[in-house]
Structure 1
Amino acid sequence: MTLGFVMLCHTALERAGQVARFWAEQGCPVVVHVDSRVSESNLRGLTASLEDLGNIRFAPRYQCEWGTWGLLQATQAASTLMLAEFPEVRHVFLASGSCLPLRPVAELRTFLDANPQTDFIESVTTSDVGWTIGGLDRERFTLRFPFSWRKQRGLFDKYVSLQRKLGIKRKVPASIVPHLGSQWWCLTRQSLSAILEAPDRAEMDRYFKHVWIPDESYFQTLIRRVSTRVESRSLTLSKFDFQGRPHIFYDDHLQLLRKSDAFVARKIWPQAERLYDAFLTADPAAGQRSERNPGKIDRLFAKAAERRTRGRPGLYMQSRFPTDSRGGNRSAVPYSVFQGFSELFENYESWLSKVSDTRTHGHLFAPDRVHFPDSETVYSGCLSDSATLRDYNPRSFLTSLIWNTRGERQSFQFGPADVQDISTFLAADPNASISVVSGAFSVPLFRSNRNFGDIRAETARLQRIEAEFLALLTGPEVKARVRVWTLAEFLETPMEVLQSIVDELNPRASNRLTEVPRLVDMTGFGQFLQNLRNQGMQPVLMGDFVTNPTLPAPSPRLAKPYVVK
């Protein structure tokens, strides 16, 4: 059996010539079509490089713009020439100038000898296609497309919308059922000649000339009328991204391509020297160096598509900025946020770093500057302590900090006096663990020596901000781990709260706390809250405090004694 190749070329003609020579020297006739937009000088260079081979022909040239009828004209002309010039050809394999054989020609011949009457072409009905881009599946057969999707996108979209609005539809010929599939196929001589010599070819050509991207539907539809056996798959490995653009294979894909069960791959980068050197060899053992594992290729490209659309968690970069419509993106690893703790304990940050083996920052979003540990002015990733730079994009600042310090858990202080632009992000980040002692912001004001009128106004302002933050933490969009204690609740059992925090940050440490930070002096705090009420300000986030400590506390209810035998 003789196998023939039809090649559609428009660029990188030197590489296309290498592939054509490889197939021709293996006894396979080759018909080359070169896009009419290619200069005559480049065409002469290609023909001169192949003129010593008697089984290579050049087809009449057509302009081949993506998604247009010219691609079908080129394919028809080259296929007709193949059937006329080489009557011994039994299968015709359609390839592009950027294709590269992955397996020896002898293997492909053996495979086709075992399937002499089988046409290998992806061909599925429009209702079963999940890869069409732009919403045009069935409509590509019922609307007209006189404008180029790439060069006249505005006119293309407006004309499609106009046809939809007016209800204009073309009639699909009764003799066909529209099918779609990859444009790269391998057809038997009988099927290909039946399509090209069909009595109603002129009618079919007139109809498909106005179908959008006809090279994905012409042969895929007509093969169903003439073939006795269609295997709906392509023998060419081609992968596409989520936008419908083909993946390009580079030198570092060599071992991956060797695992493919396909016979040809596209698109190959023209400068991929290792790929061309590895596969353009007549050595039968060249393609046997790796066990075939096409499933691994599919999984790898599926993972690449997910990485392309969703990105790596916590990594933000100009080439792929995450959006909520594609799943969004948050931080890279878990981190902790503490609100109210540094106001209640002396040297809380240094103590927490010591007992939990974490990096504890001060108030990262303080109005004056970023409070890194040890008052550093520049931190990992060249993050500046400038509040102006941080506030330009607080989300990027925080995610950069978390990304740059992967491997070491970060924690920082937050409060109502800080810049609040980051609060929505914190609440929606599943990596955030937020611990809040509500009302603790009032303790520094209580201990300050400011005028009471100023203290009352500032307490009211901070309470309003903290109340909004707490409401946000109880909303339906919250994904962070949130724990809230009122100040009164916290002061009842501070050791238990601190122990739970340390257990969360360092779960491997099983010992109970032996060292705790010093709690600030709270004497008179209850009267301070009553004074705020007397001045017309209602403190509601602090919990219930005893206003007059001289009043007798209620007698505890004694439990009944019991005996354990």
Structure 2
Amino acid sequence: MSAQTARLGVVILCHTALRRAAQLARFWLQADCPVVLHVDRSVSEADLQALKSDLGAHPLLRFSPRHRCDWGSWRLVLASQEASALLLKDFPSVGHVLLSSGSCLPLRPAAALLAHLDAHPETDFIESVSITHADWITGGLSEERFTLYFPFNWRRQRWLFDRCVDLQRKLELRRRIPAPLRPHMGSQWWCLTRATLDAILTDPNRTRYERYFRQNWIPDESYFQTLARLHAREIESRSLTLVKFDRHGRPNLFYDDHLQLLRRSDCFLARKIWPEAERLYSFFLSDQAKGLDPVTPEPAKIDRYFELAEKQRVEGRAGLYMQSRFPHADSATTKSAAPYSVFTGFEHVFQNFDYWLGQVTGARVHGHLFAPDAVHFHGGARVWHGAISNSAAIRDYNPRMFLTNLLWATRPERQCFLHGPGDVMDGTLSWFMATDTNAQISVIRGAWLLGLQDAPGSDAEKIARAGLLHRQEQDWVENLNSRHTLARVRIWSLAEFMQDPSARLSEIVREIAGEAALAAHGVPPLRAADGFEPFLARLRNQGLPAQVLKECQF
């Protein structure tokens, strides 16, 4: 293709990483697309000459006058204007002009973009959103970008910038927006038709408009976006360049591990690419990219990935606690990584309850994870997944983090464990489980007395032990009955549970494994309760308070 039949011209604004800018220029030149490079004045003369030497002489290559382009400054608009004017003057056959930067990367072959533009010869591709609808603006200034004065640089003179804005607000100063302009904003990376761009550059009111926009904040995101609305015949309000911003308004960097993500984006270009992303440059600037299917660009397809990444960046992943992602106290994320079940008193009521539960549900059933002597992992293991030790001392340093680490390391396998008043009843742990939506907690109040019957020791020792266990159970149940509880909680007295133990147990297990598994295995046998009533009567007669006993008789 010769310069006389060129359909696309490319303006590249270069600031750093000039070797990458040279690669981009060669990419477009090989497709017979005229290229105008603007090299920032902050670049040394030696580096500029090295760039020119690297590219060599080419009939479709031009360099525009240089300006020092600070972030968000008017000179970015000026550099784009002059480079575009040079392109239109030297290459009269150009039908569209693409504005990109030295950190932009074509994601599809040049032929794909040329074909897309051929199919839309009169369409301007520029994100142009009215300020009344631009709710994505980050930085606190929307309409005021167009009505206040901004003589100070936001990055280098932040204090003066903020005080100047505060003063103008206090004095209620307002600039008048020149008629007939209607302020619009959007990405500075556009692709305009020759007719629209020429109309902007030759507008008889250009001097008046420029005088106004020079005082705006970040005019490179509003000048072309506003004037395109005056002159364009048909606007498709989106950029052909994929740009994603974080919650601070800074563009996300794309690295080598984003290769597959960028392939799925279906966009023509992407910004901002890390200069050292060798895989990205070698893939997209080579013939490998030609294997991509020709499809209509749909940048919204990958929005969900960035939304998820931003959510994880702010809130962390559910159940993951680490120094760089420790969730704040009122985080909306789930406290733990996976659903789990806690059983209080069931091992005293049923024979081999933990073994039976594992067979029916297929879940991993542990003993008392918070027993005073050690962590009773399934099968008596000393170390569990994630190098979690069964040491009680290590666990008790932070019981809540012990539980979250266990659940994270064993996801997605459901964990079940026994927990009761004889365990380490740490207040923060109890409250954590009570307010965790992943927790299923089932409690048989007073069932610990069944275990106390056969425990060693005198009746006096058992009475003292019963008083302690009763108080600890009361605290546990009080947390579970709080109006702030989010866990799935079931609480029965021992007497209530024993009225229909099969039905009560079935109700719990159905939530974990379903009806079929329960029907296949049945309900475990009850433990023998011979002598329990005389045992309770003896303790009562020796001074055990009646409130400890009232829920245990059946």
Q: Distance in 2 between matches of 1:380 and 1:352?
A: 21
SS in 2 for 1:89: coil
Deviation at 1:252, TM superposition (A): 5.2
Aligned length: 541
Q: Distance in 1 between matches of 2:400 and 2:309?
A: 21
Deviation at 1:436, TM superposition (A): 0.5
Give the alignment partner of residue 492 of structure 1, picking from 499, 511, 515: 499
Give the alignment partner of residue 518 of structure 1, picking from 505, 517, 527: 527
* Residues 1:432 and 2:439 aligned together: yes
Deviation at 1:184, TM superposition (A): 0.7
* AA aligned opposite 1:545: Q
Aligned to 1:473: 480
Deviation at 1:476, TM superposition (A): 4.3
* Residues 1:527 and 2:534 aligned together: no
* Residues 1:233 and 2:245 aligned together: no
- State the TM-score, normalizing by the size of structure 2: 0.84
Aligned to 1:301: 303
Aligned to 1:539: 547
Deviation at 1:7, TM superposition (A): 0.5
Relative to 1, partners in 2 of residues 1:168 and 1:378: Cα closer, same or farther, differing over 3 Å? Answer: farther
Q: Distance in 2 between matches of 1:143 and 1:157?
A: 12
CA contact (8 A) 2:245 2:251 kept: yes
Q: Distance in 2 between matches of 1:275 and 1:262?
A: 14
Instruction: Point out the more displaced range, 438-447 or 69-78.
Output: 438-447
Relative to 1, partners in 2 of residues 1:206 and 1:328: Cα closer, same or farther, differing over 3 Å? Answer: farther
Instruction: Point out the more displaced range, 122-131 or 448-457.
Output: 448-457
* AA aligned opposite 1:439: G
Aligned to 2:132: 127
Deviation at 1:187, TM superposition (A): 1.6
CA contact (8 A) 1:486 1:541 kept: no
Relative to 1, partners in 2 of residues 1:234 and 1:408: Cα closer, same or farther, differing over 3 Å? Answer: closer
Relative to 1, partners in 2 of residues 1:163 and 1:340: Cα closer, same or farther, differing over 3 Å? Answer: farther
Deviation at 1:216, TM superposition (A): 1.3
SS in 1 for 2:311: helix
- State the TM-score, normalizing by the size of structure 1: 0.82
Q: Distance in 2 between matches of 1:133 and 1:388?
A: 48
CA contact (8 A) 1:439 1:542 kept: no
Aligned to 2:489: 482
Per-residue CA deviation, residues 292-314 of structure 1 (Å, 9 max, x unaligned), is 2645x633431342244145543
Relative to 1, partners in 2 of residues 1:248 and 1:456: Cα closer, same or farther, differing over 3 Å? Answer: same
SS in 1 for 2:95: strand
SS in 2 for 1:4: strand
Relative to 1, partners in 2 of residues 1:64 and 1:439: Cα closer, same or farther, differing over 3 Å? Answer: farther
CA contact (8 A) 1:360 1:373 kept: yes
Per-residue CA deviation, residues 436-477 of structure 1 (Å, 9 max, x unaligned), is 112334555666667878766765565455344434334444
SS in 2 for 1:523: helix
CA contact (8 A) 2:463 2:539 kept: no
- Within 5 A, what are the aligned runs for 1:102-501? 102-146=107-151, 148-150=153-155, 160=165, 164=169, 167-251=172-256, 253-254=258-259, 257-258=262-263, 260-281=265-286, 287=290, 289-292=292-295, 294-295=297-298, 298-310=300-312, 312-323=317-328, 327-344=332-349, 348-354=353-359, 356-416=361-421, 417=423, 418-442=425-449, 462-501=469-508
Q: Distance in 2 between matches of 1:257 and 1:273?
A: 14
Deviation at 1:244, TM superposition (A): 3.6
Q: Distance in 1 between matches of 2:446 and 2:168?
A: 63
Aligned to 2:9: 4
CA contact (8 A) 1:9 1:33 kept: yes
SS in 2 for 1:32: strand
Deviation at 1:182, TM superposition (A): 1.1
Deviation at 1:35, TM superposition (A): 2.3
Deviation at 1:156, TM superposition (A): 5.3
Deviation at 1:109, TM superposition (A): 3.6
Per-residue CA deviation, residues 27-52 of structure 1 (Å, 9 max, x unaligned), is 32211112233333322221111232
Give the alignment partner of residue 65 of structure 1, picking from 60, 67, 70: 70
Deviation at 1:19, TM superposition (A): 1.1
Deviation at 1:488, TM superposition (A): 1.7
Instruction: Point out the more displaced range, 252-261 or 169-178.
Output: 252-261
Relative to 1, partners in 2 of residues 1:365 and 1:14: Cα closer, same or farther, differing over 3 Å? Answer: same
- Within 5 A, what are the aligned runs for 1:69-80? 69-80=74-85
Q: Distance in 2 between matches of 1:107 and 1:51?
A: 27
Per-residue CA deviation, residues 488-518 of structure 1 (Å, 9 max, x unaligned), is 2123333443444455444342235364363
Instruction: Point out the more displaced range, 506-515 or 396-405.
Output: 506-515
Instruction: Point out the more displaced range, 433-442 or 322-331.
Output: 322-331
Q: Distance in 1 between matches of 2:297 and 2:121?
A: 24
SS in 1 for 2:401: helix
Aligned to 1:561: none
SS in 2 for 1:511: helix
CA contact (8 A) 1:147 1:155 kept: yes
For structure 1, the 5+ residue unaligned runs are: 547-565
Instruction: Point out the more displaced range, 372-381 or 340-349.
Output: 340-349
SS in 2 for 1:83: helix
For structure 2, the 5+ residue unaligned runs are: none
Give the alignment partner of residue 43 of structure 1, picking from 32, 41, 48: 48
- Percent same amino acid at aligned positions? 51
Relative to 1, partners in 2 of residues 1:64 and 1:455: Cα closer, same or farther, differing over 3 Å? Answer: farther
CA contact (8 A) 2:334 2:438 kept: no
CA contact (8 A) 1:340 1:440 kept: yes
CA contact (8 A) 1:249 1:267 kept: yes
Q: Distance in 2 between matches of 1:528 and 1:434?
A: 32
Instruction: State the Cα RMSD in Å.
Output: 3.6
Q: Distance in 2 between matches of 1:488 and 1:138?
A: 69
CA contact (8 A) 2:85 2:201 kept: yes
Deviation at 1:318, TM superposition (A): 4.4
CA contact (8 A) 1:143 1:163 kept: yes
Relative to 1, partners in 2 of residues 1:96 and 1:480: Cα closer, same or farther, differing over 3 Å? Answer: same
